[in-house]
Structure 1
Amino acid sequence: MDFQPIERPPNAFQQSVTPEQIQAVCHRVFGPGARVSSAVELGLGMYNTTYRVTVAGRERPVVVRFAPEPERQFISEREMMRNEYATVPHLAVIAPLMPRVLAADWSHDLIGRDYLVQTLLDGVPAPDGLRNYPRPAWTAFYRRIGEIARTVHGVRGPGFGPVAGPVYDTWSRAVIASLRDIAADLESVGLDAADLRSAAALAAEHSAVLDEITEPRLLTGDLWTVNVMIADGAPEPTITGVLDFDRTLWGDPAADWPVRLAAAKQDERLAFWEAYGERDRGPAASWRSSLYEVRHLGGVRLELHRHGRTDDVRDSYARVAAKLAELA
């Protein structure tokens, strides 16, 4: 087997598996005669460990994704791969853009980690492919992102919270639980989480504002350039696939990651709103958006800590403080 892992420090969050484990997975999924000829680790993602695997006799490579070991997962990120798997039936509205799941295994009897085997999407990662186009041409890309987000947000759910649960009867309860989980995770690694605790208290105090959201909608969780594939060599950036829906939840579309990033800069991404539609800019919606930003920043702080970016972790406190001032 041509095995090409990404070399990382021994204490890195993402950990490779062994060639023997990849071969064992393919024996289970494709049969005892399946022989892996190559396994190349893909480095765009920052959570799961992902390989492009070529099995002799199969026309196309497949993607094999391994979740972190259970003991390495934060409370706020528990069993995200299982959450993604539970979301697949709800993503039928964008099925042509999605990889197909060939196998899912939560048994841990081959390796002590959840894993998924999926089809390989056509195209090149958008962060690489977009560089081949002048920036004004990127508007087509962001317009399409807006269309996809709007389509996913049209899917209605049974309650609020992660698709795989726990599901809450009100949006305020889901938001408060999320803020408290992130705070607990920050404290578990020795970081101050008083600001996230304060945000949770404000959410409880102003629960009526959150509970103006009465209809749970499907949120993508992480839809943006890093999780998008585009056609190689097309006249304009053309999306061929979207992936990694492990952070999906039922809630307020305004709390979704693509809405946050589309609003972050006044540049080509303004085309997002042409397809998605105008945002609610009323006082209640603005208050909720500030709270959602605190939640996003808390999750980002965890990610920064995980990857050793101590200066950025420190800077996150001032950004959260500014948003808390808007909520008071």
Structure 2
Amino acid sequence: MSLVQNVRMDFQPIERPADAFQQSVSAEELQAVCHRVFGAGGRVVSAVEMGLGMYNSTYRVTVENQARPVIVRFAPEPDRQFGSEREFMRNEYATVPYLTAIAPLMPKVIAADWSHELVGRDYLVQTLLDGVPAPEGLRRHPRPTWTAFFRQLGEITRTVHSVRGRAFGPVAGPAYETWSGAVIGTLRDIAADLDAVALDAADLRKAEAIAAEHHAVLDEITEPRLLTGDLWTVNVMVAEDADEPTVTGVFDLDRTSWGDPAADWPIRMAAAKQDERVAFWETYGERDLSPSAAWRARLYEILHLGAVRLEHHRLADTSAIAGTYDAVAALLPRLA
């Protein structure tokens, strides 16, 4: 991280290669945004780019006329976004009214701007959450105490999943009348993105065909529920000095959608290992282990693997990309 002195601010962007997916904004652009949002007195004193996320460009910004630092997040430029991930920030903003049940844990939106008048990217200005990122905070506690964290995560997930919707698919759209339509549409979009970056999508298309053939199993899900999309440790804050890991905030819920709760990312992650995370189920509740639910879970895993493959491509992680093909190949015969 290099220190740049510009427009009378301490500006600390993260240095990345020119072809990296994430790209910083300029100090002048950041100052223009804060002047628009906070008025003539909104001079930026310092701005530090935060490197936790792998999609948006996020800054912790100290503004002269604000009592606390704020968070300013910039979406990738539109032509850098995959079709299956388009306008995630707008999807996150559209979800805010449905997350009131966990509002005390969420950052407040100070301003949102999709106009591209100042920067050719969508941006959000939000309040700063208390605490430290959970990956860092958990390491400060003995592993046996991590069960407290996962119980809280299970309760938060259950609360979000209790919110009912009217259609399936991303909160900001497109909307689907059936759950099978949403799943098939997502698989199709991911396959198209893989094509666009010259990665083989044949396995995703086979999964799409199987989903269409067995759509009735998917359409046993008739009530859309709110899915967090990406809730896990990297998107959670914990208290700095509590006796045990205590959740103080959750953020970056930009992959939210309406669908089957069993398809949500925290369900996948909670089931991935038999370690402290099994405490998640103590507050979330028991999983449906029926044959139909097990079939759907295998299809959801393929869908997740497709999205993960795109993320590994963004990070130029060739070996991890190969691993997704092996994992999907092992699952496909179990869907036939």
Please give the alpha-carbon distance, in whole angstroms, between the structure 1 residues aligned to 2:118 and 2:44.
16
Q: Residue 166 of structure 1 corresponds to which residue in structure 2?
A: 174
Distance 1:217 1:86 in 2: 15
- Structure 1's unaligned 5+ residue stretches are none
What residue identity is the alignment partner of 1:152?
A: V
TM-score, normalised by the number of residues in structure 2:
0.97
Correspondences of 1:225-240 after superposition (within 5 Å): 225-240=233-248
Is 1:104–2:123 an aligned residue pair?
Answer: no
Equivalent residues of 2:41, 2:65 under 8 A apart: no
In 1, Cα distance between the equivalents of 2:237 and 2:90?
Answer: 23
Aligned twin of 1:36:
44
- Greater shift in the superposed pair: 54-63 or 83-92: 54-63
1:10-49 equivalence runs, <5 A:
10-49=18-57
Deviation string 1:281-311 (CA, Å, 9 cap, x unpaired) is 0000000000000000000000001100001
Q: Aligned AA for 1:324?
A: L
The aligned counterpart of 1:184 is 192
| Other-structure match for 1:269 | 277
Aligned mates of 1:178, 1:27 — CA distance in 2: 39
Structure 2 residues not aligned, in runs of 5+: 1-8
Amino acid in structure 1 at the alignment position of 2:307: G
* Counterpart in the other structure of 1:286: 294
TM superposition score normalised by structure 1 = 1.00
* Aligned counterpart for 1:130 among listed residues 126, 138, 141: 138
> What is the CA deviation profile of residues 229-253 of structure 1, one whole-angstrom value per residue up to 9, with x for unaligned ones?
0000100000000000100000000
Specify the SS of the correspondent of 1:68: coil
How far apart, CA to CA, are the structure 2 residues paired with 1:88 and 1:297? Answer: 27
Q: 2:76 aligns with which of 68, 72, 76?
A: 68
Identity of aligned residues (%): 74
Find out whether 1:117 has 2:125 as its counterpart: yes
- Please give the secondary structure, in 1, of the residue aligned with 2:177: coil
**SS of equivalent residue, structure 2 residue 99:** helix
Shift, 1:215, TM fit:
0.2
Query: Number of matched residues?
Result: 328
In the aligned structure 1, how far is the partner of 2:181 from the partner of 2:65?
Answer: 51
Quick check: 2:168–2:258 contact (8 Å CA) kept in 1?
yes
CA distance in 2, matches of 1:59, 1:177: 45
Partner of 2:321: 313
Question: Aligned residue for 1:155?
Answer: 163
Moved over 4 A (4+): none
Within 1, Cα distance between the matches of 2:260 and 2:52? 28
Give the Cα–Cα distance (whole angstroms) in 2 for the partners of residues 14 and 293 of structure 1: 26
* 2:96 counterpart letter in structure 1: V
1:250 aligns with 2:282: no
**Which residue identity is paired with 1:133?**
H
Structure 1 counterpart SS, 2:211:
helix
Give me the whole-angstrom Cα distance separating, in 1, the residues matched to 2:302 and 2:183: 11
From 226, 231, 234, give the equivalent of 1:223: 231
Contact 2:41 2:64 in 1 (8 A): no
Shift of 1:313: 0.5
